[in-house]
Amino acid sequence: MATAAVPYRFRTCESTGLRVHADAEALLKVNAVLAVVFLAMAGTAALLVLLTRWPPLHLLDPVWFYRLLTFHGANALLFWIIFFEMAILYFAGPIVLNSRLPAPGLGWLAAALMLGGAILADVMILLGQADVLFTAYAPLRAHPLFYLGYILFAVGALIVVGLFFASLVVARAEGTYQGSVPLVTFGGLTAAIIALVTIFGGVITFVPAFFWSLGVLPNLDPVVYRLNFWLIGHPSQQINVSAMVAVWYLLASLTVGATAVSEKVSRIAFTLYILFINIASAHHLLVDPGLSPAWKIWNTSYAMHLAVLASMIHGLSVPAAIEVALRRRGFNRGLFEWLWRAPWGNPGFAALVLSIIIFGVIGGITGVVFGTEQINIISHNTYRIVGHFHGTVVGGTTLAFMGLTYYVIPLIFRRQVVWPGLARIQPYLFGIGMIIMTVSMVMAGTYGVPRRHWDIDFSLAPAGLKFAFDAPAYLFLTLTTLGGILAVAGGALYVLITVMSVFAGPVVERIPIPSLGPVPAIAGAQDVPEAHSPGQARAAHADIRGTLVLNFLFLAIFVVYYLLNWKWLADVWPVR
């Protein structure tokens, strides 16, 4: 006897009006929880590494320093962030589009592969079978299970990306949305497309390395490996950039009801990421002797700056949307009343603003400068590079994801965020710590402090071989340690609040959304309530003076720092 098809299980979100598919929601929860677990592991290793790099303490011996540095890189740059990004794809696809998730069984298989691969790689690292650092450059060789762990993790991520694309097809076929996909979904689509390129890079990097570690391949060319690795090493962080910007638009909507000033321009900026952002990978290879000058010049030329243009568009668009939304509420006096009267006590809003500042000013400016071929020679493999990517990945992406968590907990887990007072200060604790740490790293690197060295003073060397940097280098290393401790404390507080809220927070059914209606980034700009009168709406939409002033200040800082680096480069080879 034929059996009736099991109906798809949906619930309607009381806060956003979205029709949430149960399987998509469950997979979102699992990936988000696993992300926080791996963040806790990465943060623990970060503290130990940080206290070792501080010359007066030197906490760990060389073996455990490099082992935990490898562990920190894998968990912070790959496992924490990509698990969270998988959760974002489940949200930006079937949930935002009010659609079902096709083949949810594949989602559970993907989660199992990713978790199994991450555990396998971590165990190999902690057992001392993979002391190869995050880059795992040949001829350093790890245990075959380490490479297998990376491969399994990548396959799992590929399945989730495929499910995201499939959910777009199903949503269109079943008519659960009309017109263009919402902006947050478009940002997720950008991240997913870049993820395909990244996973391809993982395949051509780690599959040969796996067979080389087994002895099947007799050798692995270090130059080819390095070139292939940065097809995964840097683009994996470009997935973060796209996902982070999508979260910026979403948080702006959730916190103040902001609408993108021009969705068309924002979508063009996302498209520029797809076309040009991976060119920036070249800045890791500009001192490699195996690559031609023509290759290096092409990859640091005007095409790279089209990706920079995309980030600058988003850096104008998101604050402008916030300004327009707050001016619409009546905060119109002068240039910055909208800024002073913003909801700074909302941890989602605080995380959003700090993420934009740290990513744009610290991570963005240093990234453009260090990616310039000529300047790269004085910054490559110094602590300046570490400051740069902690500004982008940690200060930018991680802080944005933290801010989103304060909405994921009530909207998806349907739990109240515990300890709201601590939640309000958590983004500031983490963000201020990251500002102190990243700026100090960049400054220490300016004095020549190396990127990944256990003992910069050569304290274990014979007396005649010891070395000392100029005094400011040690001051900035101390500030790096202090800032890092603040950031780790903020990260630990985030993990604690998240875990307690998810597993012990009071159950809630509805939270207020500031837009008092559909959330613009997920409902579409056409559904957003306008100001009380047409004249007020036109005035609000036209007035982004404060944002323009802030952007010109950013450009001034960029120009000054860029010219300073050319001055420092000239000082390396004085003409007499």
Quick: pLDDT tens for 417-455.
999 999 999 999 999 999 999 999 999 999 999 998 998
Instruction: Indicate if the pLDDT at residue 145 is higher than 50.
Output: yes
As given in the structure block, the two tokens for residue 367 are: 């990234």
Structure tokens at 40: 């806790």
**Whether 457 contacts 448, CB under 8 Å:** no
Mean predicted lDDT score pLDDT of the chain: 91
The rounded percent of the chain whose pLDDT value lies above 90 is 77
Record the pTM. 0.94
CA distance 249 to 273: 16
Structure tokens at 192: 């997913």
Please write the tens of the pLDDT for every residue from 548-571: 999 999 999 999 999 999 999 998
| Residue from 334, 435, 350 nearest 400 by CA | 350
Task: Dig out the tokens for 238 from the structure.
Answer: 């470009």
Strand, coil or helix: 286: coil
pLDDT higher for 514 or 331? Answer: 331
Cβ neighbors of 345 (< 8 A, separation 6 or more) are 424
**pLDDT of 393 strictly over 80:** yes
Q: What is the pLDDT of residue 475?
A: 97
What CA–CA distance (Å, rounded) separates 144 from 129?
Answer: 9
Stretch 26-54: mean pLDDT, rounded? 97
Query: What angle (nearest 5°) sits at the alpha carbon of residue 359, between those of residues 260 and 403?
Result: 65
Q: In which band, very low, low, confident or very high, does the pLDDT at 460 lie, cut at 50, 70 and 90?
A: confident
Query: How much helix, strand and coil, in percent to the nearest 5, is found in the chain?
Result: 70, 0, 25
pLDDT at 576: 61
pLDDT-derived band at 262, boundaries 50, 70, 90: very high
pLDDT at 302: 67
For 561, the token pair is 């720092």
Average pLDDT on 449-478 reads 89
The predicted model gives 85-103 an average pLDDT of 95
Whether the predicted pLDDT of 7 surpasses 70: no
Cis peptide before 139 (omega within 30 of 0): yes
Q: What residues contact residue 33 under an 8 Å CB cut-off, 6+ apart? A: 502
Asked if 304 and 253 touch (Cβ cutoff 8 Å), the reply is no
How many angstroms separate the CA atoms of 349 and 370, rounded? 30
| Structure confidence at residue 284 (pLDDT) | 87
Residue 524 confidence class, pLDDT cut points 50, 70, 90: low
The span from the CA of 42 to the CA of 347, in Å, is 22
Inter-CA distances, 102 with 32, 97, 164, Å = 20, 13, 9
Residue 6 pLDDT > 50: no
